[in-house]
Amino acid sequence: MSDPTAASGRGRFITFEGGEGAGKSTQARRLAARLETAGRRAIVTREPGGSPLAETIRGVILSGKASALGPMGEAILFGAARIDHIDKLIAPALAAGTWVVCDRFADSTRAYQGAAGKASPDLIAELEKVVVREIKPDLTILMDLPPQTGLARARKRAAGAASDRFESEDLAFHNALRDAFLDIAAREPGRVKIVDATETEDAIAEKIWTILRDAFPAELAARDA
Ligand code: T5A
């Protein structure tokens, strides 16, 4: 089957962002499956992680062992993991014409370590340039919901297991995160599309597919799934 995206030499890079338990992983998996059904090669990946070295760094960060480094130190660790993830997985996949659906990316560093964590936004922006280089998302889905709702979902799923490094931050931190993500969306409305994450999984999946078709009409209009 001919594949115009592959022929143009690059797949599309789509990221999911938002607070804890917003449903990003659920919708990232559903979107990748739907893209495949629509005839696009697609992979789903996540941050921190997505490559063996980045998964090792994920373990260190989410255990809380690196929290003593402070928000800028943690941002540097997230950045190191992201460099490996880009070099080993994301950039080669995009170059091969594969669509990459990524559960969190650089906006999470802006929101968690920058706005909510209070690392200098200028330093976070400089770090982002060094880390991300030309691998910028074509489209970002921001899954927005009240932090209490997302945290309750995450706790229910954890079924009594301990909260991780960021789930255990206080409500003021999670409210600041939500504001930070909405601020990113307001500044970059072309790239970042807000989705109400309080709706049902099916309703959200339909809205996301509509956003994709609007964003990439030439690639998806004739290939509905
Ligand atoms: N981080 C990450 C930084 O601080 N800086 C960075 O640069 C990066 C990249 C990652 C942590 O690292 C931080 C952010 C995070 O704290 P993680 O475990 O990957 O840790 O955390 P999350 O990305 O928040 O992952 P979660 O799994 O907690 O949340 P998701 O992916 O948003 O939610 P999901 O899909 O797993 O769903 C959670 C539960 O809700 C249900 C699901 O079935 C599941 O049980 N659910 C719904 N329930 C009702 N209605 C819906 N519409 C639902 N959708 C899903």
- Ordered by start, the domain boundaries in the chain are 10-216
Which candidate, 4, 2, 3, 16, places its Cα nearest to that of 212? Answer: 16
Mean pLDDT to the nearest integer, 40-52: 98
Best residue among 24, 118, 202 to mutate for probing ligand 1's pocket (most ligand atoms within 8 Å of CB) is 24
pLDDT digits (tens, 9 = 90+) for 73-110: 999 999 999 999 999 999 999 999 999 999 999 999 99
Which candidate, 1, 10, 11, 38, places its Cα nearest to that of 208? Answer: 38
Residue 9 banded pLDDT, cuts 50, 70, 90: low
What whole-number percentage of the chain has pLDDT above 90?
A: 87
| Closest approach atom of ligand 1 to CA 199 | 52
> Does 221 have pLDDT greater than 80?
no
pTM score, two decimals? 0.95
Amino acid identity of residue 8, one-letter, is: S
Centre of ligand 1 from the C-alpha of residue 201, in Å:
14
Structure token digits, residue 210 = 């509509």
Say which CATH superfamily domain 10-216 falls into.
P-loop containing nucleotide triphosphate hydrolases (3.40.50.300)
23 ligand 1 Cβ < 6 A? yes
Residue 72 has what DSSP assignment?
H
Mean pLDDT to the nearest integer, 179-187: 98
